[in-house]
């Protein structure tokens, strides 16, 4: 039986365009409705079931035409209601949770969060379009998740075999010490522990055989899942799957990140930002530079990294790009040995120290001694310990100064937005 928790209506409303916001949970969804001016109209709670989704549609239709619906968690607790509203022809956008400062000032409850979602959807902005959750890519995601957990479990089983052998009796340890991983697991899976007279040896071999067979079963499971993934990839994106340098796992991860409705990604720059492979501004004052985006989907970023490593072995453009950056890095290092940070900045990294070998090279090449740094607290402590007779090895090293005259980062042409 469906139960609906409804709060009182906050005001009268003439039929017209409205905006809705939904705060999603595992068992219930709270819906709030506002008009085009942001005035709160009503809010209600519904169960997170098919009957509850139908009741939400009827509830929203009572207020007039729905311009847009903002939902928190369209790919988690809100996946069901998102798919239901999309099939009904309503426009749904993903809204992020309010930051902690806003929640601390305004408080938190289901109606507050639902009204906040509706207000965020009404304000517009660059709201991400939720993924379609009923196509081949969604089926691909389930198989990919099952394979990933199986790979983790297989790695844990292999590590456990090595750990058990470390503490096993010496006679067992000597028997399997020189074996490789594949040979070891095959030998352990074919053991007959009952033939051992010693109880400890029999128990240890039983445990090793169990873990080795688990590893073999997981390997068989992974192979079956990869076969299913290959068949789905041939249906969903055959061109991507057949591209040289793109394997089954990397292609599946990129498709899962992009989603079934890949038209929500308007350009290559948008996809690069989604994968955390885009340059973003990091300027302040007189410093004008970019750095690598460290956000986005890190699994997709890892897939792009593996594709790039594979393309280095056969693609001329990738080889030329790597050689150009390595050559530029060596020239900068030779031009000023004390500033290897410049080379790191072109790779999207920052280092906040000056290597010791760089200082020695700089001092050797400079006819005049470098300017002495202002004595900091570490230098004062070293002097005090010297007066007290503390050995040199026990003294802390003076704090190293950071060069502030670094040139701005020269962004490679291939990464220029």
Sequence-distant (6+) residues with CB within 8 A of 172 are 165, 201, 204, 205
Handedness of CA 355, 361, 363, 365 (dihedral sign): negative
Kindly tell me if the per-residue pLDDT of 377 is higher than 70.
no
Report which of 45, 47, 46, 39 is spatially closest to residue 19, judged by C-alpha positions. Answer: 39
Q: Of all residues in the chain, what percent carry a pLDDT higher than 70? A: 74
pTM: 0.67
Residues 124-130 have a mean pLDDT of: 78
How many CB atoms lie under 10 A from the CB of residue 71? 27
Domain 5-123 classified CATH 1.10.760.10? no
Over residues 230-256, mean pLDDT: 90
Distance CA 359, CA 397 (A): 14
CA distances to 39, 41, 113, 133, 369 from 103, in Å? 20, 22, 9, 30, 56
Buried b (16+ CB within 10 A) or exposed e, 98-113: beeeeeeeeeeebbbb
pLDDT at residue 12 in the model: 55
| Mean pLDDT across 150-155 | 96
Residue 176 near residue 201, CB atoms below 8 Å: no
Q: What is the pLDDT confidence band of residue 72, given thresholds at 50, 70 and 90?
A: confident
Predicted confidence (pLDDT) per residue in 320-344, tens digit: 888 888 887 644 333 333 323 333 3
The CA–CA distances, whole Å, from 349 to 3, 32, 283, 292, 334 equal: 54, 45, 14, 8, 19
Assess contact for 187 and 176: CB atoms under 8 A: yes
| Closest CA relative to residue 49, chosen from 4, 7, 92, 94 | 4
Q: Does 297 have pLDDT greater than 50?
A: yes
| pLDDT the model gives residue 2 | 46
Non-local (6+) Cβ contacts of 408 within 8 A are 287, 288, 289
Residue 361, pLDDT above cutoff 60: no
pLDDT at 323: 87
Strands (E) located in 143-289 = 279-281
Q: What is the pLDDT of residues 265-280, one digit of tens each?
A: 888 888 888 888 888 8
Return the pLDDT at 285: 87
- Report how far residue 34's alpha carbon sits from residue 20's, in angstroms, rounded to the nearest whole number: 6
Cα Dmax for the chain:
89
Across the chain, mean pLDDT equals 78
Query: What pLDDT, on a 0 to 100 scale, did the predictor assign at position 13?
Result: 54
Decide: residue 88, CB within 10 A, 0-12 exposed, 13-18 middle, 19+ buried. Answer: middle
- What is the per-residue burial (b if ≥16 Cβ within 10 Å, else e) of 289-311? bbbebeebbebbbebbeebeebb
Q: Is the pLDDT of residue 249 over 90?
A: yes
Least trusted range by pLDDT, from 103-117, 139-153, 384-398? 384-398
pLDDT, residue 144, reads: 95
Q: Is the pLDDT of residue 135 over 70?
A: yes
| Domain map (residue ranges) of the chain | 5-123, 136-246, 265-311
Question: Could you give the C-alpha distances from 237 to 86, 241, 296, 315, in angstroms and in order?
Answer: 24, 6, 22, 22
* Residue 274: closest CA among 246, 245, 247, 253: 253
> What are the residues facing 265 on neighbouring strands?
none
Average pLDDT over residues 112-121: 91
């Amino acid at each position: 039986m469906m139960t609906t928790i409804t709060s009182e209506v906050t005001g009268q409303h003439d039929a017209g365009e409205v905006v809705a916001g939904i705060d999603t949970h595992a068992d219930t969804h709270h819906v709030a409705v506002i008009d085009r001016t942001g005035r709160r109209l009503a809010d209600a709670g519904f169960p997170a079931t098919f009957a509850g989704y139908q009741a939400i549609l009827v509830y929203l239709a009572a207020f007039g035409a729905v311009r847009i619906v903002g939902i928190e968690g369209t790919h988690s607790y809100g996946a069901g209601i998102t798919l239901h509203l999309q099939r009904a022809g309503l426009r749904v956008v993903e809204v992020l949770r309010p930051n902690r400062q806003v929640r601390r000032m305004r408080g938190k409850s289901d109606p507050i969060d639902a009204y906040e979602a509706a207000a965020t959807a009404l304000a517009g902005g660059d709201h991400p379009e939720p993924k379609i959750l009923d196509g081949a890519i969604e089926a691909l995601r389930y198989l990919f998740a099952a394979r990933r957990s199986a790979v983790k479990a297989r790695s844990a089983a292999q590590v456990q075999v090595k750990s058990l052998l470390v503490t096993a009796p010496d006679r067992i340890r000597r028997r399997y010490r020189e074996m490789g991983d594949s040979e070891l697991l095959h030998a352990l899976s074919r053991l007959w522990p009952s033939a051992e007279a010693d109880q400890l040896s029999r128990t240890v071999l039983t445990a090793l055989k169990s873990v080795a067979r688990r590893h073999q079963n997981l390997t068989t499971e992974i192979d079956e899942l990869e076969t299913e993934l290959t068949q789905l990839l041939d249906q969903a994106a055959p061109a991507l799957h057949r591209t040289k340098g793109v394997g089954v796992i990397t292609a599946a991860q990129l498709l899962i990140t992009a989603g079934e409705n890949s038209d929500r990604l308007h350009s290559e720059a948008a996809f690069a930002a989604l994968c955390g492979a885009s340059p973003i501004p990091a300027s302040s004052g007189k410093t004008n530079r970019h750095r690598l985006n460290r956000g986005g989907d890190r699994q997709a970023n890892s897939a792009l990294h593996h594709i790039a490593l594979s393309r280095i072995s056969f693609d001329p453009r990738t080889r030329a790009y790597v050689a150009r950056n390595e050559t530029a890095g060596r020239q900068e290092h030779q031009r000023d040995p004390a500033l290897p940070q410049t080379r790191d900045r072109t790779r999207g990294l920052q280092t906040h120290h000056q290597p010791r070998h760089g200082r020695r090279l700089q001092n050797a090449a400079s006819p005049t001694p470098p300017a002495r740094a202002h004595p900091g607290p570490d230098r004062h402590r070293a002097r005090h310990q010297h007066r007290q007779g503390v050995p040199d090895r026990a003294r802390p090293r003076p704090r190293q100064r950071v060069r502030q005259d670094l040139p701005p980062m020269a962004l490679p042409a291939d990464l220029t937005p």
